[in-house]
Amino acid sequence: MPRPFARALAVAATAAVIPLACPAPATADVIIGGYPVEISESPWTVAVSSRDRFGGTRAGQFCGGVVISRSTVLTAAHCLSKEVLGAPPRQVRDLKVIAGRGDLLSAEGREIAVRDTWINPRYDSFTNAGDFAVLTLAEPLAASAVIPMAGPGDAAYKPGPGAVVYGWGDTTGSGDYATALRAARVQVLPDALCEEAYPGSVDGTYVAASMLCAGEREGGRDACQGDSGGPLVAQGRLIGLVSWGSGCGRPGSPGVYTRVSEVVRTLGAGR
């Protein structure tokens, strides 16, 4: 998937939603190789929305996000870029977070205005390093919606099965976007696998200090366009944010996530 849009949706000048590039179709369906999930099972998963920019068909959803405090949501930095939004985020007057709604066609949950945005100033759109941003909500969510973040050295980062990625993005790799929340079980993979897959190209460069490699070696289960900023969870803790990759579910091209331990370091240092 090409830079700089990574796994968000792009917006045309007419505010119509368009899929990014034309990745090779995957054989699996839902998220990519996933399954439907109730929002009650992952209340910290939220949709980032702007009907003005992306239309009302799917409640304006264009990226995912994750609740890390009652008034704070993490998402991908590239989700707030001018290339995706068509304007700086402060000019998007209806930027909202949709919480407690698994089915985007329903009226469940809450739509909460974003009071402030902060984009990691160290975000590098060429390598995709540091791909995270903070949304401050105008109204707080319930404490039960908050997921803990895995800090540096947490065992949840250890390579192996058991991680789950959530989102409303492309379900086939061909522009078929979900209306209901999906999840996929993936493996946290060794950094060496993504370093080999992404040594530096138009797609980006894998930087182990700020990125996490996850998916399946043989392909088939992965995040895709529209899932950007959504959570990767292991052992009950947030370990990654959907960031970028080459295609969706391709063998030899795992998904790349923002490593949450780097987010913890940055936010702990006062941004």
Residues that are catalytic: 78, 131, 228
How many CB atoms sit inside 10 A of residue 142's CB? Answer: 12
Residue 209 neighbours by CB distance under 10 Å? 11
Residues 115 and 188: their CA atoms lie apart, in Å, by 34
Amino acid at the residue 229: G
Phi and psi of 85, rounded to 5°? -85, -20
Which residues, including other chains, have CB under 8 Å from residue 92's CB and lie 6 or more apart?
A: 50, 52, 53, 85
Q: Coil, helix or strand for 196?
A: helix
Q: Is the Cβ–Cβ distance between 185 and 240 less than 8 Å? A: no
Whole-angstrom distance, CA of residue 135 vs CA of residue 137: 6
Indicate the residue type of 244: W
Alpha carbons 82 and 80: distance in angstroms, whole number: 7
Partners of 267 in beta bridges: none
Residue carrying the six token digits 């919480």: 99
HEC string of 103-166 equals: ECCCCCCEEEEEEEEEECCCCCCCCCCCCCEEEEECCCCCHHHCCCECCCCCHHHCCEEEEEEE
252: amino acid identity, one letter:
G
